[in-house]
């Protein structure tokens, strides 16, 4: 594909995506959902921890409960397909281990190449960042960072909620990739944070330390699905060159 065709195709995929609040009744085929998730998990993630999970809620009783937990808002109530995007912040140790195993296998397979040295990163740096005790340790780390930061650049997002935000950032990048992949397949979506996350965790049987990142409704657009013409601030108001 020529570069200009790629640019055109990407533009049309991005422009096709609108927040959809009304859909035709047919669900998005399972193989398309799977393919879009295969694209979504190619998103970048902080330290490559990939703290995301996707739940395609199909069981009628669970789907009904999920719609109610989304406050029965039109984007959920009118949707044939609902996906819950979960931030598995609690799985950081397992994901460190997965990265370590990957690196070790790689180094065993190609011993002649320069070995990848990331063991310390996943064994020490990440645990130092992610370990917390009732939120107290995070604040102590932040105070320490403040003093170190007086003398040199220092990473400062160290409280439990700031580290959690870090995980949500990466998961949201993946969620957006999922919606763009759906758009490329000719389907529509709506991200939702207007929902009762506690109830949704209960519906999905998730532990307390897992967080609902967003719910994404999916389907084919129907009449009235787009509420208004797209409103965006002019690029000059949000893009600065220094």
Provide, rounded to whole angstroms, the least separation between the CB of residue 17 and ligand FMN. Answer: 7
Strands 211-219 and 52-57: unpaired
- How far is the C-alpha of 148 from the C-alpha of 89, rounded, in Å? 27
> Across 75-210, where does the E strand assignment appear?
81-87, 188-192
The answer to whether residue 209 forms part of the interface with ligand FMN (CB under 6 A) is no
The answer to whether the CB of 26 falls within 8 A of the CB of 80 is: yes
Find the binding residues for ligand FMN in span 166-185 (CB under 6 A): none
- Out of 18, 39, 169, 199, the only residue in the binding site for ligand FMN (CB under 6 A) is 18
Question: What string marks each residue from 48 to 87 as x (binds ligand FMN by CB under 6 A) or -?
Answer: -------------------------x-x------------
Nearer to ligand FMN, 129 or 182 (CB): 182
The answer to whether residue 151 forms part of the interface with ligand FMN (CB under 6 A) is no
Instruction: Kindly state the DSSP code that residue 121 receives in the 8-state scheme.
Output: I
Compute φ and ψ for 132, nearest 5 degrees.
Answer: -145, 160
* Binding span for ligand FMN by CB under 6 A among 16-24, 90-98, 103-111, 143-151: 16-24
Please report, for residues 57, 86, 147, 205, the alpha-carbon distance to residue 190 in angstroms, rounded to integers and kept in the order given.
Answer: 15, 16, 43, 23
- How far is the C-alpha of 179 from the C-alpha of 43, rounded, in Å? 12
Residue 33, SS3 per DSSP: helix
The answer to whether the CB of 5 falls within 8 A of the CB of 201 is: no
The answer to whether residue 222 forms part of the interface with ligand FMN (CB under 6 A) is no
Angle of helix 160-184 relative to helix 136-149, nearest 10 degrees, comes to 90
The answer to whether the CB of 109 falls within 8 A of the CB of 238 is: no
* Binding span for ligand FMN by CB under 6 A among 17-25, 40-48, 137-145, 163-171: 17-25
- How far is the C-alpha of 225 from the C-alpha of 219, rounded, in Å? 11
The answer to whether the CB of 75 falls within 8 A of the CB of 20 is: yes
The answer to whether residue 19 forms part of the interface with ligand FMN (CB under 6 A) is yes
Provide, rounded to whole angstroms, the least separation between the CB of residue 200 and ligand FMN. Answer: 13
Provide, rounded to whole angstroms, the least separation between the CB of residue 230 and ligand FMN. Answer: 5
The answer to whether residue 199 forms part of the interface with ligand FMN (CB under 6 A) is no
* Binding span for ligand FMN by CB under 6 A among 26-34, 104-112, 153-161, 191-199: 191-199
Nearer to ligand FMN, 151 or 230 (CB): 230
- Out of 51, 82, 158, 192, the only residue in the binding site for ligand FMN (CB under 6 A) is 192
- Out of 193, 202, 209, 224, the only residue in the binding site for ligand FMN (CB under 6 A) is 193
* Interacting residues toward ligand FMN by CB under 6 A: 18-19, 21, 73, 75, 190-194, 214, 230
């Amino acid at each position: 594909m020529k570069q200009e065709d790629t640019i055109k195709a990407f533009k049309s995929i991005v422009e096709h995506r609108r927040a959809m609040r009304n859909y035709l009744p047919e669900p998005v085929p399972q193989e398309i959902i799977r393919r879009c998730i295969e694209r979504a998990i190619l998103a970048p993630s902080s330290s490559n921890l990939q703290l995301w999970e996707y739940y395609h809620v199909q069981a009628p009783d669970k789907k009904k409960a999920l719609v109610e937990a989304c406050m029965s808002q039109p984007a959920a109530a009118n949707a044939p397909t609902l996906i819950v995007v979960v931030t598995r912040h609690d799985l950081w140790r397992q994901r460190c281990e997965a990265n370590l195993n990957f690196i070790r296998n790689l180094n065993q397979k190609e011993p002649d190449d320069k070995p990848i040295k990331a063991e310390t990163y996943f064994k020490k740096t990440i645990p130092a960042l992610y370990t917390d005790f009732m939120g107290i340790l995070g604040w102590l780390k932040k105070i320490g960072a403040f003093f170190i930061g007086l003398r040199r650049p220092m990473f400062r997002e160290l409280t439990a909620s700031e580290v959690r935000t870090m995980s949500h950032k990466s998961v949201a990048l993946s969620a957006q990739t999922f919606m763009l992949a759906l758009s490329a397949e000719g389907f529509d979506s709506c991200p939702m944070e207007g929902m009762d996350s506690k109830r949704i965790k209960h519906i999905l049987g998730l532990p307390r330390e897992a967080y609902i990142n967003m719910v994404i409704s999916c389907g084919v657009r129907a009449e009235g699905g787009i509420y208004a013409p797209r409103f965006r601030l002019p690029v000059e108001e949000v893009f600065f060159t220094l």
